[in-house]
């Protein structure tokens, strides 16, 4: 397939590392002008430099700002007044005993993983509808469907994100704008490496620790390995393209077969 995003502007939240950075790189290789977002100017500038090296100097825009706040979202909007493609990738995760999750932690997970995405959709969806073209992609998780006992608060937030996606897809019905969720499976990022070592023997070498984690904590995976961020990015680029014009309101799985269901 030939995916050409030339002339399109994309904003990827939480894109200084991990899945977000991989999606930003993938969109840029397809020809998009990509805004890189993170909380600090320093982290964003460093990420832009790395991404330019990976993509042969493709145009990137620095868009620092903490989008979990109104002020931060306004800061991002000043850097990127309009976007044709919005990828809500920002998210937090971590393990915690179910009965020890505090009210504050429940609220924090909802604020970061759900409300930040809503805030960005509210800012950019009207312009997409006016231009009769746009792509909104919310990066969810297999944990939205298969709630992990060790992080119920995270699973709850990603389930809510699926509902947000479906609702805004209905709001955009008939406008030429699509709104979808991407259900990412267990993915190999620096943060996930730390998470894995919370659950397995920290003295194990990484490859052995990964296998132990998948065997003991994610046995449903048909890949039987962690997914690489670039594999998530490939689906994100497709869903951001004109080729995905008939896919909206969906929860598209890139989960390595983790969710044991024929449908999402």
Rounded to whole angstroms, how far apart are CA atoms 135 and 125? 9
- Edge-first strand order for the sheet with 177-184 is 60-62, 33-36, 9-12, 85-88, 134-141, 177-184, 251-254
pLDDT range class, residue 218, cuts 50, 70, 90: confident
Q: What is the pLDDT of residues 99-109, one digit of tens each?
A: 999 999 999 99
Span 190-199, mean pLDDT? 87
**Catalytic residue numbers?**
154
pLDDT range class, residue 190, cuts 50, 70, 90: confident
Q: What is the pLDDT of residues 54-95, one digit of tens each?
A: 987 779 999 999 999 999 999 999 999 999 999 999 999 998
Higher local confidence (pLDDT), 225 or 141: 141
pLDDT of residue 192: 83
Span 181-203, mean pLDDT? 91
Element (H, E) at 166: helix 152-171
pLDDT of residue 262: 85
| Residue-averaged pLDDT of the chain | 95
Q: At what angle do helices 206-217 and 190-199 cross, to 10 degrees?
A: 70
pLDDT range class, residue 141, cuts 50, 70, 90: very high
pLDDT of residue 264: 67
Q: What is the pLDDT of residues 42-65, one digit of tens each?
A: 999 999 999 999 987 779 999 999
pLDDT of residue 182: 98
Q: Count the neighbouring beta carbons within 10 Å of the beta carbon of residue 111.
A: 15
B/e letters for 10-48, b = 16+ CB within 10 Å, e = fewer, are bbbbbbbbbbbbbbbbbbbbbebbbbbbbbeeeebeebb
List the domains of the chain with CATH numbers: 9-187+228-254 (3.40.50.720), 188-226 (no CATH)
pLDDT of residue 176: 98
pLDDT of residue 142: 95
Place of tokens 């929860």: 251
């Amino acid at each position: 397939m030939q995916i050409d995003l030339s002339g399109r502007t994309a904003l990827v939240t939480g894109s200084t590392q991990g899945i977000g950075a991989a999606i930003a790189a993938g969109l840029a290789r397809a020809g998009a002008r990509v805004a890189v977002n993170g909380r600090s100017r320093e982290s964003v500038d460093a990420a832009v430099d790395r991404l330019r090296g990976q993509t042969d100097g493709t145009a990137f825009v620095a868009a620092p700002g903490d989008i979990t706040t109104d002020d931060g979202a306004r800061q991002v909007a000043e850097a990127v007044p309009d976007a044709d493609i919005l990828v809500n990738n920002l998210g937090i995760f971590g393990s915690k005993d179910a009965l020890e999750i505090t009210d504050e932690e429940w609220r924090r997970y909802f604020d970061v993983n759900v409300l930040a995405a809503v805030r960005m959709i509210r800012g950019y969806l009207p312009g997409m509808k006016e231009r009769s073209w746009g792509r909104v992609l919310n990066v969810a998780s297999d944990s939205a469907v298969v709630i992990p006992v060790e992080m119920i608060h995270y699973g709850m937030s990603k389930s809510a994100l699926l509902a947000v996606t479906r609702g805004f897809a209905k709001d955009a019905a008939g406008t030429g704008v699509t709104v979808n969720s991407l259900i990412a499976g267990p993915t190999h990022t620096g943060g996930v490496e730390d998470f894995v070592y919370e659950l397995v023997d920290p003295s194990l070498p990484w490859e052995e620790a990964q296998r132990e984690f998948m065997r003991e904590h994610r046995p449903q995976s048909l890949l039987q390995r962690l997914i690489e961020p670039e594999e998530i990015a490939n689906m994100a680029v497709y869903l951001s393209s004109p080729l995905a014009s008939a896919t909206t309101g969906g929860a598209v799985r890139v989960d390595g077969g983790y969710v044991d269901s024929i449908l999402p």
